[in-house]
């Protein structure tokens, strides 16, 4: 059981280049999300999706696009990379939730992105 798979593990981009970070999960989870992690800033939510065809913005969505055409995949697109997007990116998935109880997040291994 693979869980949440992220590719690539490492990427170096030049300013202005575009790329897509891939995320796939095989747990049939409804909820998928992207976070970026920077020193001293914790994990900040970029975009999330509550099902195929449904996405919404998180805390820091600017500069990133997402789409959810299938339950399994949730790619994150950087259209024009900037040095401020240098970070570690994590994809996470979980079941949806009802009521006060949330569902635990399952994280991928992360993508370390450097923009020069």
Partner 1 sequence: GQQVMQIPQYQHVQEGEDFTTYCNSSTTLSNIQWYKQRPGGHPVFLIQLVKSGEVKKQKRLTFQFGEAKKNSSLHITATQTTDVGTYFCARATSSGGYQKVTFGTGTKLQVIP
Interface with partner 1 (CB under 8 A): 31, 33, 35, 40-45, 48, 50, 56, 58-59, 90, 92, 94, 96-110
Rounded Cα–Cα distance for residues 66 and 76 (Å): 5
Measured from the CB of residue 101, what is the shortest distance to partner 1 in angstroms?
5
Measured from the CB of residue 92, what is the shortest distance to partner 1 in angstroms?
8
Rounded Cα–Cα distance for residues 93 and 96 (Å): 9
Residue 65 forms beta bridges with which residues?
A: 77
Cβ-based nearer residue to partner 1, 16 or 96: 96
Asked if omega into 37 is within 30° of 0 (cis), the reply is: no
Measured from the CB of residue 80, what is the shortest distance to partner 1 in angstroms?
27
Cβ-based nearer residue to partner 1, 78 or 92: 92
Cβ-based nearer residue to partner 1, 83 or 102: 102
Cβ-based nearer residue to partner 1, 11 or 107: 107
Rounded Cα–Cα distance for residues 108 and 18 (Å): 22
Do the beta carbons of residue 36 and residue 89 sit within 8 Å? yes
């Amino acid at each position: 059981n693979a869980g949440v798979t992220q590719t690539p593990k490492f990427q170096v981009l030049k300013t202005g280049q575009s790329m897509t970070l891939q995320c796939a999960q095989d747990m049939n989870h409804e909820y998928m999300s992207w976070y970026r992690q920077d020193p001293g800033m914790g994990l900040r939510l970029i975009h999330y999706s509550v099902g195929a065809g449904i996405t919404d913005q998180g805390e820091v969505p600017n500069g990133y696009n997402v789409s959810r055409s299938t339950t399994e995949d949730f790619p994150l697109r950087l259209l024009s990379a900037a040095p401020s997007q240098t970070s570690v990116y994590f994809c996470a998935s979980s079941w949806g939730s009802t009521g006060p109880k949330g569902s635990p997040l399952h994280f991928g291994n992360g993508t370390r992105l450097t923009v020069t």
